[in-house]
Amino acid sequence: MNSIVTFPNRIPVQEFEERRFKVFTDRQLDKIEAIQDLPEETLFEMKVVASVLPFRVNEYVINELINWDKVPNDPIYQLVFPQKGMLKDEHYEQMAQLHRDGADKKDIQALAKQIRDDLNPHPAGQMEMNMPELDGEVLDGVQHKYRETVLFFPAQGQTCHSYCTFCFRWAQFVGDKDLKMASTEAEKLHGYLQEHTEVTDLLVTGGDPMVMKTKNLVQYLEPLLQPEFDHVQTIRIGTKALTFWPYRFVTDKDADELIELFAKLVDAGKHVAIMAHYNHWQEITTDIAEEAIRRIRATGAEIRAQGPLIKHVNDNADDWAKLWKREVKLGIIPYYMFVERDTGAKNYFEVPLAEAYNIYREAMKKVSGLARTARGPSMSAGPGKVEIQGIAEIQGEKVFVLRFLQGRNPDWVQRPFFAKYSETATWLHELEPAFGEEKFFFEDEFEQMKKGNG
């Protein structure tokens, strides 16, 4: 195994010193030196919004990724620091008044819960329709939406090195047990996988599994090397650590063990895919980020990049084209451009579907074929992943051309369907069928699925 770790030394390797991980939450806003020169009103707005939506940022992101000369318009600043517009006006004013009045913590928390309940904390039926059972019991921290893929939420990985302001899993991080998905039971995960031989892919997600110690990751993944799990061909790990804490793969105390784990899985015949969440090219401009990418790729694991199109961060074609070009240069596979989900601060971040498609198309025109592997714009909606394939005029009607990239019923996959063109729609439920049809082809079956899980 040591040969795997030393293999990259054929390339000149830059030495990096171990860095202490220092994090700030809403309770330490006044300790973040970089923001103390911002207007007092801005700091108050941060405090108000952070009372409702999760906030967490680390020193690396603050010092290395944000261009403070461009604040508040810097994309990484928008990515991690709370903004007033993230709350609806009425919600903001309610919470701001409590802070102005010096309300106690209990009243602030009660209002925060009330506001959160109005923000669709678990979109796309993930708490109603995706929950599998083993021996008659619902499996906490496991989701099974698509036939071939199981999602696993290890309890030790249900936080992140920093939080994205747009995160569709924000409900995991607000301290409300009723909103949380997590599991500590490796045996039940393995038992479920043994019973379901149709599953080829395990996606370990969160939060961020890379906040876990390697020894915890080992207990979930190494057993999959046994013959009874031969059907599980691919192990995916969803992570933002390549942006928010690339030291995890380079200088953290168990970084070498983590790299060795990837190599061991690959050597045993598993396809290991690191599902990296990138939103802007600024995230992969540091030497330590490049080194983390290089070390992972040297194990034989691949890195696929995905992220949503979000207003204030990356809602232009030039930034996407530059991101995809840089990913390809570093050996990363562009995978998905998502549409911002209908949850949390969507009112601040969402982009109309028509605009999203135009941005995607313009960005694609600027890159070579190797970067055109990024699929999108894609909505991860209740029925499945729906891609906008184009805008067309058919029989005199302007329409969106859509298809399922994934579906709750595999028979839906790749079937084209059409919706009336809309300048304002931002999500699937806002679209209407084209050509006088009353419903989309999948709607009746999807309604039956929902009733069956009710």
> Once rounded to an integer, what is the mean pLDDT over residues 45-65?
96
DSSP letter assigned to residue 341: P
The Cβ of residue 446 has, within 10 Å, a number of other Cβ atoms equal to 21
**pLDDT tens digits for 100-116?**
999 999 999 999 999 99
Instruction: With a cut of 60, say whether residue 201 has pLDDT above it.
Output: yes
Q: In this predicted structure, what is the pLDDT of residue 343? A: 81
Q: In this predicted structure, what is the pLDDT of residue 1? A: 41
Helix 214-221 × helix 255-267 angle, to 10°: 20
**Cβ atoms of residues 204 and 220 within 8 Å:** yes
Assign 417 a pLDDT band (cuts: 50, 70, 90): very high
Indicate the SS3 state at residue 68: helix
Instruction: With a cut of 70, say whether residue 66 has pLDDT above it.
Output: yes
**pLDDT tens digits for 314-331?**
999 999 999 999 999 999
Q: In this predicted structure, what is the pLDDT of residue 118? A: 86
Assign 365 a pLDDT band (cuts: 50, 70, 90): very high
Only one residue has tokens 């906008």, namely 388
> Once rounded to an integer, what is the mean pLDDT over residues 362-373?
98
DSSP letter assigned to residue 125: T
Percent of the chain, pLDDT > 90? 81
What is the chain's Cα-based Rg? 22
Q: In this predicted structure, what is the pLDDT of residue 329? A: 98
> Once rounded to an integer, what is the mean pLDDT over residues 18-27?
95
Neighbouring C-alpha atoms within 13 Å toward the C-beta of 275: 20
Of 251 and 184, more confident: 251
Which of 438, 393, 383 is CA-nearest to residue 415? 383
Instruction: With a cut of 60, say whether residue 97 has pLDDT above it.
Output: yes
Which of 321, 327, 330, 322 is CA-nearest to residue 295? 330
Helix 214-221 × helix 186-195 angle, to 10°: 30
Best mean pLDDT range from 136-140, 245-249, 344-348:
245-249
Instruction: With a cut of 70, say whether residue 400 has pLDDT above it.
Output: yes
Residue 197: C-alpha distances to residues 29, 148, 387 (Å): 48, 9, 28
Instruction: Give the lowest-confidence range in 83-92, 111-120, 190-199.
Output: 111-120
Q: In this predicted structure, what is the pLDDT of residue 127? A: 55
**pLDDT tens digits for 255-312?**
999 999 999 999 999 999 999 999 999 999 999 999 999 999 999 999 999 999 999 9
Query: What predicted TM-score, i.e. pTM, was given to this entire model?
Result: 0.92
**Cβ atoms of residues 65 and 286 within 8 Å:** yes
Instruction: With a cut of 90, say whether residue 191 has pLDDT above it.
Output: yes
> Once rounded to an integer, what is the mean pLDDT over residues 424-434?
97
**pLDDT tens digits for 262-272?**
999 999 999 99
Sequence-ordered list of residues with C-beta below 8 angstroms from that of 328, at least 6 positions apart, any chain? 334, 367, 368, 370, 371
Indicate the SS3 state at residue 140: coil
Instruction: With a cut of 50, say whether residue 4 has pLDDT above it.
Output: no
Longest dimension (CA), the chain: 65
What residue segments make up the domains of the chain, in order of their start? 2-117
